[in-house]
Amino acid sequence: MRGIWLFLRSTFWTLAFPGFFAGFLPWRYFGVSDVDFNWRNPVHLLAAVLIASGAALLAWCIVDFARRGRGTLSPVDPPKELVVQGLYRYVRNPMYLSVLTIVLGEILLTRSIPLLVYWLGFFAAANVFVMGYEEPTLRKQFGESYERYTRSVGRWIPRI
């Protein structure tokens, strides 16, 4: 029963956060709903690959949060265990990067300058939220294990 409850919570928060920011807002306000998709257009194909890749990577992260962390992507229902496996081995914020990848695909589809500005604003807001709330909260919750993790895994760019 706990597994079903966690699945329902994860689904709700997925729709509430990335579904809103990468789905609803671009669809409703930035022209994604007006796109006449053309499979023969290489830019549209690249956009589709970016959107599908971003969605798949996001799903992977959400599953890792549920299975390994026993929580969701919401700050009010976070993982109980520090998740450092899967995509989190390479960057500390793959969910945000997944959403940014989806919106980048939507930018290619729409060729919308306002959507590009939205993308930049989303990335700036994610940075402020990550550095101002998430990282201090994770330091407090997980202590030295989180500190070791931050020393070996980059916030946005994988370390070699």
CATH code at 2-152: 1.20.120.1630
Q: Is the dihedral of CA 120, 125, 128, 134 positive or negative?
A: negative
pTM (two decimals): 0.95
Mean pLDDT of 70-74: 92
Q: In the structure, what pLDDT confidence band is assigned to residue 71 with cuts at 50, 70 and 90?
A: very high
| Mean pLDDT, residues 16-21 | 96
Model confidence band, residue 125 (pLDDT cutoffs 50, 70, 90):
very high
Report the Cα 132 to chain-centroid distance in Å: 17
Spatial CA neighbour of 106 closest among 53, 38, 30: 30
Cα separation of 61 and 95, whole Å? 6
CB neighbours of 80 closer than 8 A, spacing ≥ 6?
Answer: 69, 70, 71
| Average pLDDT taken over every residue of the chain | 96
- When pLDDT is averaged across residues 144-151 and rounded to a whole number, the result is 97
Per-residue pLDDT, 2: 77
- The confidence score (pLDDT) of residue 160 equals 73
Rounded mean pLDDT, 118-144: 97
